[in-house]
Structure 1
Amino acid sequence: MPHRSTPIPAPPLVAVAAAVAVLLALVVAGCTSPPNPPPSPVPDVHLAAVGDMNPAGDVDPGSPSGRNGAAIAKLVETNGIDAFLGLGDFQYDTGNCDGYVKYWTPLWGGALPKLYWVSAPNHDWEPGRNEDLDNFMNGQCPGAPEKSAINQERGFISNGEPYSKDFGTWHVAFLSSALWRYDKGAAAAATTWLDKDLGAAKDDGKHLAVVYHEPYYTSDTAEHGRAADQKPWIDVMWKYRVRLTLSGSQHNYERSCPVNNADKCVDDGMTAFQVSTGGIDLRPFTSKPKYIAKRFSDTHGFLRLTLHGDGSFDWTFVPTTGQSTDSGSRSAP
């Protein structure tokens, strides 16, 4: 009889499918690299800002100045903020070492470890009259050895000297508006510096902010109007589409619409905050420019800002003596 071979049974379809899947996985693994992990999110930057802080001789912790100083010092102590931006006019004594040590330090000294400062006219710095602010911030006044945050990072910084600092994806320039009063040549040099500084930061993909004491975008008061001589700085800020500015001096609170260098509300303009509610007596307004979106002159407090990595930001005015407040958000460019 002819020999008959025994047929080999076909493997189950499930087993075939599993084998094919394994082979495909091996092929893919050999031909492709693992996918890149998603980029880590850029941390938010948390800031507090205020100017015009301490009336002459004030050491009362229950005063508007004392309440603000304590609230900001608490945020520093608990890491609730990454930086405190001091917008000038730290005190209203003569502005020598004794004044900063005896009066400003007891109420505001807890903010020094995270303080980035600007020198303001007259109350903080007038050449030949009071020139100790830079010494105080560098821990050189007898009885006050602690340095501000920026001095810890960079050493001695002279009154009037511009500087800048990156906070995450944000680049912040600090300017002394006192230069326009006391040294026009130095003010022009600061304009050139600002152009180069903001231009380099813009090329690096940073979002831009500028801090200076005397405001350009502001309502009039009986004491002060717009610091019109600072227009060259404003033109440079507009050139590079600065997102926000911070200033003080007027003894009240204001926020502008996003505004350009011709005082027009535009989508890509600067949001200008004027925050001079640190503790000095408040002043009423005597005019209202169309670019001012929010203002009040009946409440002491400070501004909190959260800067996001995409160029958007949020703000809240924190009242410490009074009831008025302001909050909102601006979307990414």
Structure 2
Amino acid sequence: MQITIDHKNIEVLNGETILEAARRYGIEIPSMCYAQNAEHKSSCMVCAVRNMANGQIIPSCTTLPVDGMQIESETEEIKQIRTLSFELLLSDHRADCEAPCSLVCPHGLDVEHMLYFYDHQKYKEACQVIKGAFPLPEIKCDQCKAPCEKACRRGNIDEPVSIRKIIKELVNQFNIAEINPIENRKIDKKMFQSRLGRFNDKERQHLKEHVNTDSRCLHCACAGKSDCKLRTYATQKSIKRPKYDVSSELPVMNKVLVTGKLWFEQAKCIRCGLCVYNSKNGFTFKDRGFVMQVYIPEENRMNVNEELATLCPTGALYLENNPASASTGNK
């Protein structure tokens, strides 16, 4: 069977969708609710293309072509439709890509990483992170205006984390000159940065009561940011700030340890359904329409495999070796 995509002849294999055939020929069509070799259903329209025969806009990830079909995938109209789809998905995605404290540090200190070690009494490792960012022999926190503390999400609950005080405490307690540095992860400022927004009253109360580590850090950076397709595509489309306000009211405190090291955060979920369709008696949909949610009944958690995290396009499902970033969760 032959079709054309953007006037390029494509030989379609048996059972292939338009998206799969296009990618095999090097034509990149974005997708969020599709994963190779996984069961999926069209839900996001990020993969939209036009059938030139009737002018219809169709999802390429689920549409099986017919012989002679002519497809447009790169017109300005199609690009606008995809951008709109991304904008709508971002309005459902309530999360910080990067911890605000790390994002604004003028020295490039990975503040959250340092505080993770501090909260787990790994003070030498915390000093290694500090030394990896600050020039020695002096660490001039006293002269810094502390943008990290001004940006701290904890300040929306009670008081921001005393980051400068913790750094001074560590530096005064240990001979940092003799400690080997850990190179701090460089934050790519060109990448799209999702913003969590403000907590509601119920969230503030919950987080105030349940996050009681030594530093009081919320560890709000996304553990799945490096593999987030939503972030990657938003960056490629030069989206700086979402066009629409975040409409999701899913509480950020709903972090569920599913099984082993697999965590699920509802507030990051765009309801693509990949985890539902690919877990037998595992994840499921709750409610319908605009209030529909993906959730995991407690009795179903034993049926879920950790490999499911590889299907999630947003970091709502992730494998976490660092328990600090899940410290606000409900186990």
- Bucket of the pairwise TM-score, normalised by the shorter protein: under 0.3
The structure where helix makes up a greater share of residues is 2
TM-score, scaled to structure 1: 0.24
| TM-score computed with the length of structure 2 as normaliser | 0.24
The higher radius of gyration belongs to 1
- Give the structure with the higher percent strand: 1
